[in-house]
A and B are shown apart, each in its own frame.
Chain A
Amino acid sequence: AQSVTQPDIHITVSEGASLELRCNYSYGATPYLFWYVQSPGQGLQLLLKYFSGDTLVQGIKGFEAEFKRSQSSFNLRKPSVHWSDAAEYFCAVGTTGGFKTIFGAGTRLFVKA
């Protein structure tokens, strides 16, 4: 069965600093990989996704993520964080059979001035 690990429960970065959120997955085949963001009291918004092709994917709000098969990782990055990026970030994996999507535990991002 597939699983997702986000090793960092929370991360604090200064505004303007770079960000990397870690995600490791377990799945027997090539997975579909997603990053979602959830702001307080809001629903989930898709930042980006990967399922084939270029292993570096660009998303909304200046985010990008890189798929590394050898490390079973799909880390999310942003070169310069804005205060409005403070939110909960969820990595998720979907099966190539497309039957379900499993979410990681999430990483809470705090942005300090």
Chain B
Amino acid sequence: SAVISQKPSRDICQRGTSLTIQCQVDSQVTMMFWYRQQPGQSLTLIATANQGSEATYESGFVIDKFPISRPNLTFSTLTVSNMSPEDSSIYLCSVGGTGGEKLFFGSGTQLSVL
């Protein structure tokens, strides 16, 4: 199992600003995943973060908008840049899912953009 600490848990931000979300795992993992869950919606994979290489982004997500860092095997950050109200969502860090394992999720960051 994995324990994931994610912060901040929530934030209210102004349009045009940026927010960096941090994700700390209690064990070394190869891959970390960032998801977005918009109000009343499912989870959408934003990107996969590998240590030592650039993140792999899913269709519809770009590095300029959602830059990701992965400096070591237990930590990652996701930045939501130049925010607009459409970015209001819950952002989730997760690990696992490889080889049939279940995903472990952080507690999420609830972002509201005014």
Which residues of A line the B interface, CB within 8 A? 32, 34, 43-44, 46, 49, 51, 90, 92, 94, 98-106
10 extra interface residue pairs, beta carbon distance < 8 Å, beyond A90-B43, A103-B43, A105-B41: A44-B43, A46-B103, A49-B102, A90-B42, A94-B97, A94-B100, A98-B97, A99-B31, A103-B35, A106-B41
Sorted from nearest, which 5 A-B pairs have the closest CB atoms? A98-B98, A51-B100, A101-B97, A46-B102, A103-B43
Q: How far is the CA of A49 from the CA of B100 in the complex (A)?
A: 8
- Most chain A CB within a 10 A radius of its CB, from B98, B102, B108: B102
Interface residues on B, range: 10 to 19
Are A101 and B33 in contact, with the CB atoms below 8 A? yes
B interface residue numbers (CB < 8 A to A): 31, 33, 35, 41-45, 48, 97-103, 105, 107-108
Q: Which residues of B contact A100 (CB under 8 A)?
A: 33, 45, 48, 97
